[in-house]
Chains A and B, each alone.
Chain A
């Protein structure tokens, strides 16, 4: 095969790494929202795919954080929403007008993962040695405690109203002008979108390298057999703490992005047990410990919630007439039945997930034989 000319070399690297295509597509989409044009022009629907993609990316960052804890280190964590909430409320407290800090978005973005990571250290230090199912209960309990504390400390967190308005990311005027031409909402969206994309790509690259590093191999050894790993000189508690607090910090970062995107911390009950389980669903359905699987899971789950579910509800209501109060006809009411069934079926028939990592798959099927 003749050598391709120098200028076409990047095309070949694309062929070897098809995921680069997805990154390029995500990079170009806000500039050329083709699908939105088609949906709007042909079907008359406003799908807001750009905004939904931003949601998917933020959720995917959170799911990657959980994957570090559950998928890599094998720590069943049922309270990831607590660290997400700590990130969101750190952003709120350090940016809203009510408080004297007003670090602005960039300061809060740096601070949120630090606070969430510290919370992870504080919770993990005494509990990380507990056996697996007890750790699950501790994290679940922590999630509830954090939610209730945020809800009840009204003089600090504004209780059920949430802290708002959280300002959009600050940019120098010349840059903002170049991006949005004076439309501040557009500038905010672009900054958030590309920032989330950058963080997501950086995390994927980081985690991919991690899988092949000494630390990543220690994770796999611990997952497969903690006793043997400990005999080989791996300190289980230390390795687990690294995974737990780093995962917490990444979840806090996702929280900062989430709150800024919404421009409010939203009400504390957003960050409840069901939210944690939703993230867990995403990791398990996609594939524990599999980067591409987790990203796929985030995409599938959020498209279900934001696009498929409203669409089906609309279709049902068109068929039976509007204003029906029957609980069965709201498709979103079937959500937990569907997710619950998915969890049960996945565990029974495909515990490695939709798009598994070969290593985890081998581990899960090893014990059956």
Chain B
């Protein structure tokens, strides 16, 4: 029972990170019907930026006040970085292909994904102390353990809840509520929903669709940048390939929840987090990709509209 509860908790924290990344996939897909393969790698680059900034600010030796301020600055900076990068990629790569056959932006996204991964490899080769002095660019980088991982219930308790877990869950919830409020109550959010429903009709109603799409990439990128900092602080190790696998898991979460559906992405993220935690516990960590991708295939075959999605016919 305690094991199950513990897996549920691990699933919740991991799932929050997946959900944040999944939101970026789902928002872009909702509007463009494009699987943005590069999204996971954006997340990876933002985590490299966060690590670089931790080194530059000297946070490993800072006091509590400095640490909090520094982390806030890092969250803002990596969010801005990922948002700006995502927007730029859309502007340069996807936007010229808006009227091209669907295959074209998808293949471009795969290309961008590989470019970003390669940049991550080079970034890891920087001669900085936080990167291990640039000895091996491809090696995993250890992300300093800045938030306490001590059990809040006392050292002997059967269940383990740490300050880290609380940080992940609470800060992610705050961001998700803010996102929901943004999409639900602001003019731009309303424009996004309208564009997702029907781009042509939205254009006829006077919505600048290109601007809305740009804003969607900004918001999705910002969420990925935020998720990257949280991920680094929680998992404590990053490498240039984390974007590929976590991105695919997050995409699975988005599909599971019903792609294009914002609450669905959060629900999907939590389910994926829990399935991953229990498959690691009861089946074995080496089977993790097979379990999750097998699940993805089954969802797509039996319930392609996802848990919360409605059945959308392919546009002719």
Question: Which A residues have a C-beta under 8 Å from some C-beta of B?
Answer: 74, 76, 126-127, 130-134, 136-138, 140-142, 144-145, 148-149, 151-152, 227, 273, 277, 280, 284, 325-328, 333-337, 339-344, 347-348, 351, 363-364, 367-368
| Cα separation A127 to B302 with both chains bound (whole Å) | 10
- A227 partner residues in chain B, CB cutoff 8 A: 316
Measured CB to CB, the nearest residue on chain B to A132 is B102
Question: Is B97 touching A348 in the complex (CB atoms < 8 A)?
Answer: yes
> Is B13 an interface position by the 8 A CB rule?
no
Measured CB to CB, the nearest residue on chain A to B316 is A227
Question: Is A340 touching B118 in the complex (CB atoms < 8 A)?
Answer: yes
Question: Is B125 touching A327 in the complex (CB atoms < 8 A)?
Answer: yes
- B172 partner residues in chain A, CB cutoff 8 A: none
Neighbour of B113 across the interface among A142, A334, A340, CB < 8 A: A340
Least CB distance, A132 to chain B, in whole angstroms: 6
| Cα separation A367 to B100 with both chains bound (whole Å) | 7
Q: Which 4 A-B pairs have the closest CB atoms?
A: A343-B111, A340-B114, A327-B125, A327-B137
Total of A-B residue pairs, C-beta within 8 Å: 136
Stretch at the interface among B218-226, B268-276, B288-296: B288-296
22 A/B residue pairs, CB under 8 Å, sorted by A: A127-B301, A133-B35, A134-B300, A137-B255, A141-B297, A145-B294, A148-B286, A148-B287, A148-B290, A325-B135, A327-B121, A327-B122, A327-B124, A328-B125, A333-B118, A336-B115, A336-B117, A336-B118, A337-B115, A341-B115, A343-B108, A348-B97
| Cα separation A336 to B117 with both chains bound (whole Å) | 8
Question: Is B100 touching A328 in the complex (CB atoms < 8 A)?
Answer: no
B:23-45 near A, CB below 8 Å: 33-35
> Is B201 an interface position by the 8 A CB rule?
no
B 245-262 to A, binary, CB cutoff 8 A, 1 in contact else 0: 000100100010000000
Question: Is A347 touching B105 in the complex (CB atoms < 8 A)?
Answer: yes
Question: Is B108 touching A131 in the complex (CB atoms < 8 A)?
Answer: no
> Is B243 an interface position by the 8 A CB rule?
no
- Decide yes or no: A137 and B119 within 8 Å by CB, A337-B114, A364-B101 being known contacts: no
> Interface residue count for B (Cβ, 8 Å)?
51
| Cα separation A74 to B104 with both chains bound (whole Å) | 12
Question: Which B residues have a C-beta under 8 Å from some C-beta of A?
Answer: 33-35, 93, 96-97, 99-108, 110-115, 117-119, 121-122, 124-125, 134-138, 244, 248, 251, 255, 286-287, 289-290, 293-294, 296-297, 300-301, 304, 314, 316
Measured CB to CB, the nearest residue on chain B to A334 is B118
- B108 partner residues in chain A, CB cutoff 8 A: 343-344, 347-348
Neighbour of B93 across the interface among A284, A326, A334, A344, CB < 8 A: A344
- B251 partner residues in chain A, CB cutoff 8 A: 137
Least CB distance, A151 to chain B, in whole angstroms: 7
Least CB distance, B200 to chain A, in whole angstroms: 16
- A364 partner residues in chain B, CB cutoff 8 A: 100-101
- B297 partner residues in chain A, CB cutoff 8 A: 127, 138, 141-142, 145
Question: Is A136 touching B114 in the complex (CB atoms < 8 A)?
Answer: no
- A367 partner residues in chain B, CB cutoff 8 A: 99-101
Neighbour of A133 across the interface among B33, B93, B99, B290, CB < 8 A: B33
Least CB distance, B174 to chain A, in whole angstroms: 31
- A351 partner residues in chain B, CB cutoff 8 A: 100-101, 104
Question: Is A340 touching B296 in the complex (CB atoms < 8 A)?
Answer: no
- Decide yes or no: A126 and B301 within 8 Å by CB, A132-B102, A136-B106, A364-B101 being known contacts: yes
- Decide yes or no: A141 and B296 within 8 Å by CB, A148-B287, A151-B286, A326-B125 being known contacts: yes
